[in-house]
Chains A and B, each alone.
Chain A
Amino acid sequence: MIPLSHYLLLSLALFSIGVAGVLLRRSIIIVLMSLELIFNSINLSLVAFAHFLQSMTGRVFVVFTITVAAAEVAVGLAILVAVYRRRKTVYVEELNEMKH
């Protein structure tokens, strides 16, 4: 039997790698991939909690999370395609029209 903390530490590792990717990478498509990593780590911790609390709620919730993640990827990549068509760039620091 693997203790819950192992799963949570793995989830923490994946989450922080994802956050590092979002903060560090310039290409917006890698930022979206890192967001998917974060989603995955959260799914893992939800299922781990559900397993160790002998509950079903966390597992059902993961189904909804996966659906929302799929919707997010579809819309995010559509926005990416639209932005690339208009601005010809995929670097996040060049997309700062709304900053000032």
Chain B
Amino acid sequence: MEKLFFLIFAVIAIVSAIGVVSLRNPVHSAISLMVCFLQVAALFILLRSPFLAAVQVFIYVGAVVVLFLFAVMVLDLGKERFGGYLHHQRPIALVVVIGFVFVMGFTILHGSLDAPLGNYTEEALVKNTEIMGKLLFTKYVFPFEVVSFLLLIALIGAIVLAMKEKR
């Protein structure tokens, strides 16, 4: 049963990812990106991380895709979709991507994982969100603060960059 759902989510994710890079209208690409993010959120639930799935839906689907759509609307990019939409560097790019896929696929299929297992088994992960909250405010409190400061910098930076220049 789990395998069936994994297959459904994986196929939809790959198809919508191909849609993101191949559709000509940026609005269609953004919608396709949203579908892909939702599938990844569903895969997070299959991996027993419901909190991350919720965060994925809130931030990616709720904020990032809306921001992309907003940018497309503000900049009026839709009218430029009839021109050529691919680079002239197509052959080199395809060689690079296919080579990467072969190397990484070989590594994944022939590699083995023998690291020591942690103590968060499936039974302990019933309180997934509680464990994550405790870890965020105890063990990982320094990266947490750094990331919150980074968000503040990004907020100010985005406002400064998008501000109209004053004469």
Mask of B35-79 contacts with A, CB within 8 angstroms, 1/0: 011001001101111011001100110011001100110110100
Q: List 18 A-B contacts (CB under 8 A).
A: A2-B2, A10-B10, A13-B17, A14-B14, A21-B20, A27-B26, A34-B20, A34-B21, A43-B56, A47-B43, A51-B47, A51-B48, A59-B132, A66-B59, A70-B64, A70-B151, A78-B158, A90-B77
The 3 closest A-B pairs by CB, nearest first: A21-B21, A71-B154, A23-B93
Mask of B121-138 contacts with A, CB within 8 angstroms, 1/0: 100000000011001100
* Closest beta carbon of chain B to A98's beta carbon, Å: 17
Decide if A62 touches B157 in the complex (CB within 8 Å). Answer: no
Interface centre among A27, A47, A56, A69 (most CB of B within 10 A): A56
* Closest beta carbon of chain A to B40's beta carbon, Å: 5
B153 closest partner in A (C-beta): A71
* Closest beta carbon of chain A to B38's beta carbon, Å: 11
* Closest beta carbon of chain B to A8's beta carbon, Å: 5
Residues of B within 8 A of A34 (CB): 20-21
* Closest beta carbon of chain B to A99's beta carbon, Å: 14
Among A19, A71, A81, contact of B75 (Cβ-Cβ < 8 Å): A81
Which A residues lie at the B interface, using CB under 8 A? Answer: 1-2, 4-10, 12-21, 23-27, 29-30, 32-34, 36-37, 40, 43-44, 47-48, 50-56, 59-60, 62-64, 66-75, 77-82, 84-85, 90, 92-93
B17 closest partner in A (C-beta): A17
Residues of B within 8 A of A82 (CB): 161-162
Main secondary structure of the interface of A (DSSP, over half): helix
Decide if A40 touches B135 in the complex (CB within 8 Å). Answer: no
Residues of B within 8 A of A23 (CB): 87, 89, 93, 96-97
Residues of B within 8 A of A25 (CB): 21, 85-87
Bound together, the chains give a CA A62 to CA B49 distance in angstroms of: 11
Number of A-B contacts (CB under 8 A): 217
Main secondary structure of the interface of B (DSSP, over half): helix
- Number of chain B interface residues as a range: 35 or more
Bound together, the chains give a CA A18 to CA B18 distance in angstroms of: 9
* Closest beta carbon of chain B to A93's beta carbon, Å: 7
Decide if B162 touches A37 in the complex (CB within 8 Å). Answer: no
Residues of B within 8 A of A93 (CB): 87
